[in-house]
Amino acid sequence: MGGTYQAGEEKVRPGVYRRYTTQDKKLVAGAMTGVFAIPVKADFGPVGTVTIHTKQDSVKEMYGMGGTVKGALNLFEGGAAKVHVYRLGTPLARQSLRIQKTQRQLLWKQNILQILNLRSH
């Protein structure tokens, strides 16, 4: 005759009794879930600094949708609560963007002046 028993229990009948127990599973102390970091290539946004985002919209506003920004957005779709984003690049990229913007502004102003001159004739 046999069977199982609880700790501290005394059996009346002779036999082989087994006790099955499981040890407490210990979780990793201080582990954070839902926090990610990702480097991205983007058309604009701060270069060389880490920015922290809790929503997809804030990533889109800061970095746009170009380059590899979609990777950061995918993290939110996968359940991320917080994403640390680092834009790859050099400060020179910022300077060239400023030059391009200035050139566009100059062209825009020239076009407006041409239109105004045509209307005055």
Q: Which amino acid belongs to residue 98?
A: R
Q: Is 82 exposed, middle or buried (0-12, 13-18, 19+ CB in 10 A)?
A: middle
Question: What is the pTM assigned to this prediction?
Answer: 0.51
Strand-pairing partners, residue 38, are 85
Distance (Å, whole) CA 89 – CA 58: 20
Q: Which of 15, 14, 19 is nearest to 4 (CA)?
A: 19
pLDDT in tens, the chain (121 residues): 566 667 777 777 777 777 766 666 555 555 457 899 999 998 888 888 899 999 999 999 999 998 899 999 999 988 889 999 999 887 655 555 566 666 777 777 777 767 777 666 5
